[in-house]
Amino acid sequence: MKAPADLLLLPQWVVPVESAGTDDPARACGALAEHAVVVRGGEILDVLPADAAQARYDAAQTVDLPNHALIPGLVNLHGHAAMSLLRGFADDQPLMTWLNEHIWPAEKKHVSEAFVRDGTLLAAAEMLAGGITTCNDMYFFPQTAGEAFLQAGMRATLGIIVLEFPSAYASDADDYLAKGLAMRDELKDEPLLSFTFAPHAPYTIADATFGRINTLAEQLSLPIHIHIHETANEVRDSLKQYGMRPLERLAGLGLLGPNFIGVHAIHVNDAEIDLLAQNGCHVAHCPTAGLKLGSGIAPVNRFMAAGVNFGFGTDGPASNNRLDLVAEMRLASLLAKGASGDAAALPAAAALKAATLDAACALNLDSRIGSIVPGKRADLVAVDLRALSSQPVFDPVSHLVYVAGREHVTHVWVDGKLKLNDRRLVDLDTDDLNARAHYWRTKLTA
Ligand SMILES: [Zn+2]
């Protein structure tokens, strides 16, 4: 008798990123031709040859994906989703001018629960349509953002954001922490949501606040998600104010460890890379944002050599201006090669792993997501490689990084539920999202 299943996916290739029961990296990163993925109860039940799957399972629904590669959902390791409403609002400015003269004043005036709800929904729609099934978010009103991610049916890690200065959301560091902890209490039983402490950056957080965050993060076993060493100025200012570089200061405060996710890490020296590696820290590499704000290029090849785990982030849509992790994979790989003079730097399989399993590992979610192996949640993305511009296909993994674009994503499942069906969003009303974006554009420019 056949075993029951909810879903039988029959792609041309399954790219599992890791394989249960084998240490063979070629098999893990390479594509399995004529294999099926079986889903039951939102979980990946089996990955096996297609013939055997059809003989063994009786699925309520079978989806043929004859020209597609099926990959794990992409994990956006750093973003500010609601800032989608500020996309293109202030471009071509260096980081501190951009923040001080444009972004922070606009946020002070306009950010509200309604702004965060509409902006997060808009970003979730963009991310899901581009194959991103999980994002690590840092923004004001995280409870509202969490509710929007749940409405979109997307997996998200919500930052308990902390700053020393007041905003429409909170008055001081204590207030940010109190509100963030209450948010976590409210949402902690939602299976699609997880949490980090998200102190904005070393230059916006005092030592005493870092101390409190560190204690709380240990008590609650939550990651700490923070921008670090983004610009050369940040490092210079820290030397002036504290007599030490930001990472040195954070190390002294006891913050570095396997629960630490440093965003950007562009201006880091070899000793700091070793420090990150020795402490098991993770990096969210945001190549487009680093280039667009003129901050620089993170030394990814040196992270790899030292054994620092990293994933990719889009950063906010105001500093990118796309939420496109397929593009970040390609750019990261090309930059790693160009910056190091080594064409073997960040090869395609490593780039795909960074965008999925390694990012999941940074979020401490790798036991649940990040690869296509039995027992993990079914966050799955189908990429159509049928286009003439994709022909011929010798190696689908190479094509996923160097050829495909997010427009080739056709189907997305989160937790086994269909979110994108033949390029159409299932749960979100795109006309409504357009109308909301237009409303905010008018308001922001009034
Ligand atoms: Zn950021």
Task: Encode pLDDT of 95-104 as tens digits.
Answer: 889 889 999 8
SS3 call for 105: helix
pLDDT in the model for residue 90: 87
Spacing, Cα 117 to ligand 1 middle (Å): 19
| Centre of ligand 1 from the C-alpha of residue 264, in Å | 8
CA of 135 relative to ligand 1 center, distance in Å: 12
The alpha carbon of 359 and the centre of ligand 1 are apart by a number of angstroms equal to 16
Q: Which residues contact residue 30 at a Cβ distance below 8 angstroms, ignoring those fewer than 6 apart?
A: 15, 349, 395, 397
Residue pLDDT, tens place only, 354-395: 999 999 999 999 999 999 999 999 999 999 999 999 999 999
Cβ atoms of residues 29 and 72 within 8 Å: no
Question: What is the C-alpha separation between 89 and 419, in angstroms, rounded?
Answer: 29
In Å, how far are 54, 176, 304, 309, 372 from 45, measured between CA atoms?
Answer: 14, 41, 32, 28, 10
**Residue listed under structure tokens 């357009």:** 434
Ligand 1 centre from 6 Cα, in Å?
38
**Per-residue confidence at 402, pLDDT binned at 50, 70, 90?**
very high
Residue 317: band (very low, low, confident or very high) from pLDDT cuts 50, 70, 90: confident
> How many residues are recorded in the chain?
446
Q: Please tell me the distance between residue 376's alpha carbon and the centre of ligand 1 in angstroms.
A: 29
CA 378 – CA 170 distance, rounded (Å): 36
Please state, in angstroms and as integers, the Cα–Cα distance from residue 312 to each residue in 66, 122, 142, 308, following that order.
29, 20, 21, 13
Separation between Cα atoms, residue 352 and residue 405, nearest integer Å: 13
Quick one: average pLDDT of 406-411?
98
- Integer Cα distance of 362 and 412 in angstroms: 22
3-class SS of residue 403: coil
Taking residues 191-219, report their average pLDDT.
Answer: 98
> Which residue type does 149 have?
F
Distance, CA 69 to ligand 1 centroid (Å)?
31
Mean of pLDDT over the chain: 96
Using the predicted structure, report yes or no on whether residue 255 has a pLDDT greater than 60.
Answer: yes
* CA 254 to ligand 1 centroid distance, Å: 22
- Please tell me the predicted confidence (pLDDT) of residue 24: 52
**Percent of the residues in the chain that have a pLDDT greater than 90, as a whole number:** 92
List, as one string, the DSSP characters of 140-163.
SSHHHHHHHHHHHT-EEEEEEEE-
Tell me, in angstroms, the distance from the centre of ligand 1 to residue 153's CA: 23
Give me ligand 1 centre to Cα 400, in Å.
26
Q: How far is the CA of 405 from the centre of ligand 1 (A)?
A: 23
C-beta of residue 134 within 8 angstroms of C-beta of residue 154? yes
User: With 60 as the cut, is the pLDDT of residue 411 above it?
Assistant: yes
- Smallest CA-to-CA distance from 103 within 93, 115, 116, 113 is with 93
Single pTM value for the model? 0.97
Asked if residues 83 and 27 have their Cβ atoms less than 8 Å apart, the reply is no
Alpha-carbon distance of 212 to 181, in angstroms, equals 13
By percentage, how much of the chain surpasses pLDDT 70?
98
> In the 8-state DSSP scheme, what is residue 203?
G
Ligand 1 mean position, distance from CA 362 (Å): 16
Residue 142 scores a pLDDT above 80: yes
Q: What is the reported pLDDT for 47?
A: 97
For the segment 96-127, what is each residue's pLDDT rounded down to a tens digit? 898 899 998 999 899 999 999 999 999 999 99
263 CA from centroid of ligand 1 (Å):
7
Residue 30 in this model has a pLDDT that exceeds 90: no
Is-contact 258 289, C-beta < 8 A?
no
Report the separation in Å between the CA atom of 425 and the middle of ligand 1, taken as the mean of its atom positions. 26
In the reported structure, the alpha carbon of residue 313 is separated from the centroid of ligand 1 by a whole-number distance in angstroms of: 9
Looking at residue 22, its pLDDT comes to: 53
pLDDT at 288 over 60: yes
CA of residue 405 relative to chain centroid, distance: 17
Checking if the pLDDT of 185 tops 70, the result is yes
Identify the pLDDT of residue 29: 63
212 alpha carbon to ligand 1 midpoint, in Å? Answer: 22
Task: State in Å: Cα 219 to ligand 1 middle.
Answer: 25
If we measure between CA atoms, which residue out of 270, 255, 362, 257 comes closest to residue 310? 362
